[in-house]
């Protein structure tokens, strides 16, 4: 009787171990499959992020003087050193923010807050155009400028001209 009891316990234990093994194997395979799916999805998302970042970087270099070889060659052929040219243009535009009159020399809108209109951001697009933003602290806008270096009385002078501008309404 004791032998049969041990035999039944042994068989019961063996069945219990087999059941646990099969059940655990299924669970592990399920987790392994989910992990593989997540890893594949993660790889696809990383690839998508890299593609988007590459597009964004490419967009940042579009319409920028520093990456426009034709625009740089134009000024180099005029005898201008490019490394000094971009800071010179930006400095000249920013120096126009110091003015004594009521209206800014380039910004075609008068300030409506009593503060001066000031150019705050500049982006050189190519060898002829600049886009600039301006603000008086409450109102802001953008303008497209053309620029050129002209010979005036045996010296070179930088000339800006507003092509188009827009003033945004505050919210």
For 154-163, how does the pLDDT look when each residue is reduced to its tens digit (9 = 90+)? 777 889 999 9
- For helices 82-95 and 69-77, the axis angle rounded to 10 degrees is 90
Pair (160, 79) in one structural domain: yes
Picking from 41, 160, 167, the residue whose alpha carbon sits closest to that of residue 113 is 167
119 phi and psi, to 5 degrees?
-75, 130
Q: How many beta carbons lie within 10 A of that of residue 12, not counting itself?
A: 10
Task: Decide which of 45, 62, 79 is a domain's last residue.
Answer: 62
pLDDT at 61: 67
Task: Decide which of 47, 62, 77 is a domain's last residue.
Answer: 62
Task: Decide which of 33, 62, 91 is a domain's last residue.
Answer: 62
Q: 94 and 120 in contact (C-beta within 8 Å)?
A: no
Pair (115, 69) in one structural domain: yes
What does the alpha-carbon distance between residue 63 and residue 126 come to, in Å, rounded to a whole number? 7
What does the alpha-carbon distance between residue 132 and residue 123 come to, in Å, rounded to a whole number? 6
Residue matched to tokens 């964004």: 56
**Predicted structure pTM score:** 0.63
Pair (89, 122) in one structural domain: yes
What does the alpha-carbon distance between residue 90 and residue 145 come to, in Å, rounded to a whole number? 12
Pair (70, 35) in one structural domain: no
Pair (56, 85) in one structural domain: no
What does the alpha-carbon distance between residue 32 and residue 37 come to, in Å, rounded to a whole number? 9
Pair (54, 127) in one structural domain: no
Average pLDDT of span 135-148: 93
Of 55-59, 123-127, 164-168, the least confident: 55-59
Going by pLDDT thresholds of 50, 70 and 90, the confidence category of residue 37 is very high
Pair (145, 73) in one structural domain: yes
Domain with 95 in it: 65-168
Average pLDDT of span 18-41: 90
Tally of domains in the chain: 2
**Residue 55 DSSP label:** H
What does the alpha-carbon distance between residue 62 and residue 98 come to, in Å, rounded to a whole number? 31
- Burial label for 109, CB within 10 Å (0-12, 13-18, 19+), is middle
For 52-110, the pLDDT digits (tens) are 887 777 666 677 887 888 888 888 888 888 888 888 899 999 999 998 888 889 999 98
Dihedral of the alpha carbons of 26, 30, 32, 33, in degrees to the nearest 10: 130
Q: Where are the beta strands (DSSP E) in 60-154?
A: 118-124, 129-135, 140-152
């Amino acid at each position: 009787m004791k032998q049969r009891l041990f035999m039944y316990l042994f068989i019961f234990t063996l069945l219990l171990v087999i059941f646990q093994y099969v059940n655990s194997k299924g669970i592990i395979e399920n987790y392994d499959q989910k992990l593989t799916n997540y890893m594949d999805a993660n790889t696809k998302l990383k690839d998508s992020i890299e593609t988007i970042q590459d597009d964004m970087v490419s967009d940042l270099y579009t319409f920028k003087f520093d990456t426009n070889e034709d625009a740089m060659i134009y000024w180099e052929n005029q005898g201008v050193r490019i490394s000094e040219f971009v800071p010179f243009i930006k400095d000249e535009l920013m120096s126009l923010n110091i003015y004594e009159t009521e209206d800014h020399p380039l910004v075609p809108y008068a300030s409506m807050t009593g503060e001066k209109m000031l150019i705050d951001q500049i982006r050189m697009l190519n060898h002829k155009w600049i886009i600039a933003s301006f603000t008086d602290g409450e109102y802001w806008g953008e303008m497209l400028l053309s620029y050129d270096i002209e010979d005036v009385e045996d010296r070179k002078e930088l000339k800006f001209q507003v092509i188009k501008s827009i003033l945004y309404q505050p919210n």
